[in-house]
Structures are given as C-alpha cells and as structure tokens.
C-alpha cells in the first residue's frame, strides 16, 4: 500500500504488493460523459462504465469507432472529469461517479492537482500528434522530466536511457520531422516512460504504424511491463494488439460490453 | 533557445511583428530625444533666471520682445527701492529671414555694456578659443561667437564675419552652453546699438539716437527681496513695459514644453500601441497554430501557469528584440540628424541613457503584456479538445 501511494520509485513493488493486497491501481464506477453540442443535441459518449485496473496489468480497450474508448481513456487519465451525478451534465439515474487512482479519490481534484498527477504518475501516448515539432527527440523526452520537476544531469541521463530503451539513442538530436512515424511513436513512448510512472495510457499507439512496426512497439511495451512492472492501458482497434494484452475491455455504445482474459 | 526556435517557425510573421515594435520604439526614441532636448533648453533657461534676474522689455505682453526702449529708463528703474543692479542690453536677430523659420533657438546678435559684471550671473560664459569681450573693445568691430554659430559659418578666432552689413573680427568662440548663447554673436554695445537701429522702420528710427536705444534690461533685486514687488513697480513706470521673472519663465516655458512633450511622446506611444497590437495578433495566431502542441504539453503535465509563462516570455522576447533594434535605429537617426544639424546650428535631439534604457524595458514589458491575453486563452484550453484541434 505504501508503494502505491508513491508509485513512481518502485513500480515492481507496486505489483508485488498488489498480488498480496489486490488493491486496484485505478478504479472507476458509474463513469459517464455526455457531450453537449447544442441545446437539444447531446452525445452520450459514456453511459455508466465500471472499470478496475490492477497494478502491473496490460489492458486493451477495444470496440467500434465512437463507442467511447477515447473518452474513457481521457477520464482514466484525468484529462477530463466524469459527469457529476446531479444530472447537470447528463447522469440521469443519480449514481455518483467514483474514480480512484493509487488509493486516492480523484473525482473532485482541481486542475492543478490533476496536472501534477499526470506529470508525475502517468505517461501518455496519443495516436498521431505526440511530439513538440520544434524540439528534438531528447528535448521532447526531457519535457516530461521537466513537468515532473526533475532537472539537471539526472533527468538528462534518464531521458537518454529512455531513448535507448526504445532503440533511438542515435536519434536523440533529431526533430520529429526528421523521424519516421514509428520512430516518433517510440519517442512518445520513451517520454511516457521516462518518469517510470505507475500507469501508461495510450490511445491507438500503433494506429498509424504498419504491422511490422506495430509488433516492434508492442514487444517494447511487453518488455517494459515485464522488466518494470508498469501498468499499461491501450486503446486499440488492432486485434493483434488486443491478443498481446493480459485483458481486453470491449466497449459498445458508451458501455462496457464484456471483458475477456 | 527554444523560444528563438519557436519564433523562427514563421520567420516572415515574426519579422513583421518585430518590425512593428521596432517602428514604435524608433518613434518613441526619436520623439523622446526631441522632448529631452526641449526640456534641456527650458532647464538651462531656468538656470539663467535662478540668479533672480527680471527681464524687462518694451511692448508689454508675457513674452520678451525686441522693441526699442530709451536708455534713460535705466535710472528710473534703479530708483526703485529694492533694485540692486540694472544691466541694459540690446538684442536682435542675426538676420531678418531666420527670425520666423528657425526651430529651436534663433541666431541672435546681443550686447551689454562691456566689462559690466554683476557678479550674480548663474550662467557663466567661458571662451573655448580666444577671449570674451572687454571694456577696451568698445569702439572696435570685434565679435565673440557662440559655438553653434562659429561651426555654422566655419569661423575661427582671427576670421572676419559680416553681421548686418558690417565686418567684425572674431576674437573668441564660446564654450557650449546648450542654450541661447550657443547661437549668439556678442559684439560691443555701441556697435550693437548702431546695427539695431538699421533694422528698425525709418519712421521709428527718425525719433531715436543710437546711443540712447536699448531693447531691454536685466534687473537684479537686492538679495532677499521678492521679484514680484519689483515687477509691479517696473510696470507702474510705464504700461509699455513687460517683465518676466524666473517663476514666469518656468510657467511659460514649462507649459509649452509640457504640451510639446506630450504631443511628441503621444506620437511615439501611438505607434507603439500599434506595434503592441501586432504582437497580440501574432501571438494569437501562433498559439492557434500550436494548439495541438499546447494540448500535448498540458496532457503530459504542464500546468497552466507554465503555459502562460512560456508564451509571455516568448512575446516579451519579441518586444525586447524589436525594442533593441528600434533603439539602435533611433540612436542612429538622432546622431546623424544632430551631426547634420550641428553645421546649421540646430540640434534637435538629445538621447539620454534614461530614454534608451526605458524604451527597451518598455517594449519588453509591452510584449509581455501583449502576450498575456493569448497566453491565458491557451492555458484555459481543454487539453483533449486541443489535441483534437485541426
Ligand atoms: N469533444 C466532443 N464533442 C462532441 N462529441 C464528442 C466529443 N468527443 C467525442 N465525442 C463523441 O463521443 C462519442 C465517443 O467518442 P470517442 O472518441 O470516445 O470514441 P472512440 O471509441 O475513441 O472512437 P474512435 O475509435 O473513432 O477513436 C462519439 O460519438 C464522438 O462523436
Ligand atoms: Mg478514439
């Protein structure tokens, strides 16, 4: 439990503890999200979702387009807050949403507090636009260190190490425009991992990659999971990616349809 | 470094924005230097009046005139109880045409009875070359030139110069005073009276004799007495007399200078406001272009304050670069114009360190302020929406 409260340093211990205590890393209940486009025109992207992610798991979220996968990931990644149950933004049956991360209630946190958690305890990989175009690969990775208040030599060597992990040491000084799509994606993964966060969230990390590159990225994630015990949540369309994960959460129309191991 | 890379993403746009600020600061520096120069002249004039002298002239009004007065008035003014010293003087324009068109201080020919020292002058004249006039010069055509006049006519000690149709030998050139004497030629009193008479219309001239004509008096009150009681008594001598004390001068010159200064600085500020708006526009555009990048930064943990800081620093940098270039160009123009003006005796600008430093600080702060609103907008973006932005 102590390790979960401070999961940056020793993710491996988080996993070891979890097998004993079975405290989830991330747990959400009654998660809803309704987008209002106009007075009448609303889209219920999430209609009451319960999820539970154990430390050290690699979980895929799959489902048809528009089923709410990204929306769920944004809520789990504290990028969006779930709708309140008071009906103001949709929740009609009045069930209060709950969301905890590492044992903390994160539903009502301020923007600043969420930002801090994202910076220190989470890593993000998005589908296509991941990197700051004016910065080199190394500087992009260093951004994440910077936001987690890590600086100096230690941050630099951690960033170089992260680039080495994804096999891009040679490319540290290159700008995104000088990198292939797969390489850019690997820089983003290096950035997501550099702070050794407890949770890495990835929205279609292989969506723009061919199957050879997809296998490469996937192998990398699995290796990191094995070696560092980090938890991964991957949103994907790709059956191959799904099969490589410990568990698949299948969504449809804003609801979880089923889960499979 | 990173900021420079951001700025160099859209080189033309950045350059145009910097140009906007540059023009604004350039205008501020140039007009500010002009205002400095005006303030300086007013300040030096004020020093002259610090001696407590009262200027007296004929023709009334609030500003000195060069109408003829009778030298006999000297004794009547001296008879006023608190008056200590009275110095008669004659002044005229160097020539008739530059009386109206000259900017700044007009070239003058002036004279006071030679060798008459009051011991009370606060503006001490020194000769940079040659000597000042002495009592023994009375009766000979010699002249001491102000430094600007000497430069304008390229005259040195020993040269001759024609003033109002008569030849004079230059016996001295004054050190710079930053005010009227720089643009004056000083000649013996009798010669001045003679030349002055030739400038008057013949009807007026007919009733005057050269040795009795003056254009004004400097009246020094006894120490410790208020000039105002004396001016009232002087005006009582004749309704034709006008007077000016140091306080009057400060009020008059101060109000002219203040008006001119506010016009000049106002022009500078308006151009700067335009430059500032172009920074707002540039930063807003550049942020719109970078929306997804800001989304990424926010998503991976950049706080709002940090986003604001980055953008404000970037636009402050634009302001600083523009300001520095503007200052450099302004300084160049001011220096060139002063060099060109020196030969014709009109120095219009004075660029002080204060003006220089504050203009760059000002443009930097302006840039920062201009970036602030777009920065706040960027910081408030929803990271997810920003990521999806096309
Ligand atoms: N910002 C938004 N405003 C309005 N509607 C939105 C917004 N974001 C998502 N939606 C809608 O919510 C629903 C769920 O969207 P979401 O992006 O979660 O789907 P997804 O499962 O990730 O789809 P895809 O596989 O295409 O990425 C969709 O119908 C979508 O149109
Ligand atoms: Mg999606």
**Which ipTM did the prediction report?**
0.87
Quick one: pLDDT band at residue B274, thresholds 50, 70, 90?
confident
Task: Give the range of the structural domain holding residue B309, as residue numbers without chain letter.
Answer: 2-43+253-387
Q: Tell me the shortest Cα–Cα distance from A122 to chain B, in angstroms.
A: 8
Q: Which candidate in B300, B307, B309, B384 is best for mutational testing of the A interface (most A CBs within 10 A)?
A: B300
Look at residue B24 and tell me if it is in a domain: yes
pLDDT at residue number A17: 47
Look at residue B377 and tell me if it is in a domain: yes
| B10 plus B58 within the same structural domain | no
pLDDT at residue number B296: 93
Buried b (16+ CB within 10 A) or exposed e, B27-37: bbbbbbbbbbb
CB contact (8 A) between residue A132 and residue B306: no
Quick one: pLDDT band at residue A93, thresholds 50, 70, 90?
low
* Residue A147 at interface with chain B, using a CB cutoff of 8 Å: yes
Last residue of a domain, one of B226, B244, B262: B244
CB contact (8 A) between residue B296 and residue A129: yes
pLDDT tens digits for range A194-227: 999 999 999 988 887 788 878 888 888 888 888 8
Quick one: pLDDT band at residue A9, thresholds 50, 70, 90?
very low
| Cβ–Cβ < 8 Å for B386, B298 | yes
CB contact (8 A) between residue B387 and residue A129: yes
pLDDT at residue number B356: 92
Look at residue B300 and tell me if it is in a domain: yes
pLDDT at residue number A179: 92
**Alpha carbon B157 to chain centroid, angstroms:** 29
How many domains are contained in chain B? Answer: 2
| B285 plus B352 within the same structural domain | yes
pLDDT at residue number B121: 67
Look at residue B216 and tell me if it is in a domain: yes
Look at residue B48 and tell me if it is in a domain: no
CA pair distance B366, B275, nearest whole angstrom: 9
Q: Which residue has the tokens 């004390």?
A: B245
Look at residue B133 and tell me if it is in a domain: yes
Q: DSSP secondary-structure letter at A131?
A: S
CA of B375 to the centre of ligand 1 (A): 28
Percent composition of chain A: helix, strand, coil (DSSP 3-state, to 5): 40, 25, 40
Closest residue in A to B293 (Cα) is: A132
| B89 plus B229 within the same structural domain | yes
CA pair distance B252, B258, nearest whole angstrom: 10
| B137 plus B231 within the same structural domain | yes
Our answer on whether the CB atom of A135 is closer than 6 Å to any ligand 1 atom is no
Last residue of a domain, one of B200, B218, B244: B244
| B369 plus B220 within the same structural domain | no
Last residue of a domain, one of B210, B226, B244: B244
Look at residue B188 and tell me if it is in a domain: yes
pLDDT at residue number A132: 92
Our answer on whether the CB atom of A34 is closer than 6 Å to any ligand 1 atom is no
Our answer on whether the CB atom of A195 is closer than 6 Å to any ligand 1 atom is no
CA pair distance A7, B254, nearest whole angstrom: 71
CA pair distance B108, B104, nearest whole angstrom: 12
Q: DSSP secondary-structure letter at A181?
A: H
Does pLDDT of B58 surpass 70?
A: yes
CA pair distance B342, B351, nearest whole angstrom: 15
Our answer on whether the CB atom of A46 is closer than 6 Å to any ligand 1 atom is no
Does pLDDT of B277 surpass 90?
A: no
CB contact (8 A) between residue B300 and residue A123: yes
| B103 plus B176 within the same structural domain | yes
Q: Tell me the shortest Cα–Cα distance from A20 to chain B, in angstroms.
A: 31
How high does pLDDT run on average in chain B? Answer: 85
| B383 plus B337 within the same structural domain | yes
| B293 plus B337 within the same structural domain | yes
pLDDT at residue number A74: 94
CB contact (8 A) between residue A112 and residue B387: no
Q: Which candidate in B4, B301, B303 is best for mutational testing of the A interface (most A CBs within 10 A)?
A: B301
pLDDT at residue number A157: 94
Our answer on whether the CB atom of A41 is closer than 6 Å to any ligand 1 atom is no
CB contacts of B298 in chain A (<8 Å) are 115
| B226 plus B355 within the same structural domain | no
| B84 plus B213 within the same structural domain | yes
| B182 plus B154 within the same structural domain | yes
Closest residue in A to B387 (Cα) is: A129
CB contact (8 A) between residue A79 and residue B9: no
3-state secondary structure of B350: coil
Q: For residue A45, which ligand has an atom nearest its CA? A: 1
Q: Give the CA count within 13 Å in the CB-facing half-sphere of B89.
A: 23
With CA atoms as reference, report the closest residue to B285 among B20, B10, B21. B10
CA of A29 to the centre of ligand 2 (A): 21
Look at residue B355 and tell me if it is in a domain: yes
| B168 plus B316 within the same structural domain | no
Q: Which residue has the tokens 């999806």?
A: B388
Does pLDDT of A188 surpass 70?
A: yes
Over pLDDT 90: what percentage of chain B? 28
Q: What is the mean pLDDT of residues B176-197?
A: 87
pLDDT at residue number B246: 80
């Amino acid at each position: 439990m102590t390790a979960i409260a401070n999961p940056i340093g020793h993710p491996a211990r988080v996993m070891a503890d979890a097998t004993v205590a079975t405290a989830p890393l991330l747990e959400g209940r009654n998660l809803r999200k309704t987008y209002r486009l106009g007075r009448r025109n609303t889209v219920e992207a999430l209609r009451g979702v319960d999820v539970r992610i154990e430390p050290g798991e690699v979980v895929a979220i799959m489902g048809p387009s528009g089923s709410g996968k990204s929306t769920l990931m944004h809520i789990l990644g504290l990028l969006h807050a779930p709708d309140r149950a008071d009906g103001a933004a949709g929740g009609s049956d009045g069930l209060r949403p709950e969301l905890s991360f590492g044992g903390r209630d994160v539903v009502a946190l301020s923007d600043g507090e969420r930002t801090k958690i994202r910076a220190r305890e989470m890593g993000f990989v998005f589908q296509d636009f991941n990197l700051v175009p004016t910065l080199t690969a190394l500087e992009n990775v260093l951004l994440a260190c910077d936001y987690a208040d890590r600086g100096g030599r230690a941050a630099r060597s951690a960033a170089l190490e992260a680039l080495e992990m994804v096999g891009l040491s040679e490319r540290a000084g290159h700008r995104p425009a000088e990198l292939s799509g797969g390489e850019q994606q690997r820089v983003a993964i290096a950035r997501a991992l550099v702070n050794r966060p407890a949770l890495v969230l990835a929205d279609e990390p292989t969506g723009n990659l061919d199957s050879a590159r997809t296998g490469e990225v996937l192998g990398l994630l699995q290796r990191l999971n094995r070696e560092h015990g980090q938890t991964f949540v991957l949103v994907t369309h790709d059956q191959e990616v799904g099969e490589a994960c410990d568990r698949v959460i299948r969504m449809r129309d804003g609801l979880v349809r089923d889960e499979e191991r | 470094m990173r900021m420079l890379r951001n700025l160099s993403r859209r080189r033309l746009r950045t350059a145009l924005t910097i140009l906007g600020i540059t023009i604004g600061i350039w205008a501020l520096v140039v007009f500010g230097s002009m205002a400095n120069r005006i303030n300086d002249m007013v300040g030096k004039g004020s020093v002259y009046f610090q001696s407590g002298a009262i200027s007296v002239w004929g023709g009334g009004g609030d500003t000195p005139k060069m109408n003829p007065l009778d030298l006999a008035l000297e004794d009547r003014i001296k008879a006023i109880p608190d008056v200590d010293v009275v110095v008669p003087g004659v002044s005229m324009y160097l020539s008739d045409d530059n009386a109206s068109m000259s900017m700044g201080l007009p070239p003058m020919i002036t004279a006071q009875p030679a060798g008459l020292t009051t011991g009370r002058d606060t503006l001490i004249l020194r000769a940079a070359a040659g000597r000042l006039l002495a009592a023994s010069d009375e009766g000979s055509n010699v002249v001491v030139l102000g430094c600007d006049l000497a430069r304008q006519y390229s005259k040195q000690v020993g040269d001759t110069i024609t003033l109002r149709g008569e030849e004079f030998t230059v016996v001295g050139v004054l050190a710079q005073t930053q005010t009227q004497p720089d643009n004056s030629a000083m000649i013996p009193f009798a010669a001045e009276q003679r030349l002055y008479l030739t400038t008057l219309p013949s009807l007026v001239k007919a009733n005057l004799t050269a040795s009795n004509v003056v254009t004004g008096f400097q009246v020094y009150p006894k120490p410790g007495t208020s000039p105002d009681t004396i001016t009232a008594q002087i005006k009582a001598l004749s309704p034709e007399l006008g007077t000016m004390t140091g306080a009057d001068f400060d009020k008059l010159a101060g109000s002219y200078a203040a008006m001119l200064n506010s016009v000049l600085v106002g022009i500078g500020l308006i151009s700067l406001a335009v430059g500032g708006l172009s920074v707002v526009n540039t930063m807003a555009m550049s942020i719109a272009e970078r929306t997804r990048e800001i989304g990424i930064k926010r998503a991976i943990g950049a706080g709002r304050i940090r986003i604001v800081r980055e953008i404000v620093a970037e636009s402050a940098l634009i302001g600083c670069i523009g300001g520095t270039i503007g200052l450099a160009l302004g300084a160049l123009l001011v220096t060139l114009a002063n060099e060109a003006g020196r030969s014709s005796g009109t120095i219009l600008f004075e660029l002080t360190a204060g003006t220089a430093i504050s203009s760059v600080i000002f443009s930097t702060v302006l840039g920062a302020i201009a970036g602030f609103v777009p920065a706040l907008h960027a910081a408030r973006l929803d990271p997810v929406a920003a990521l999806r932005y096309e």
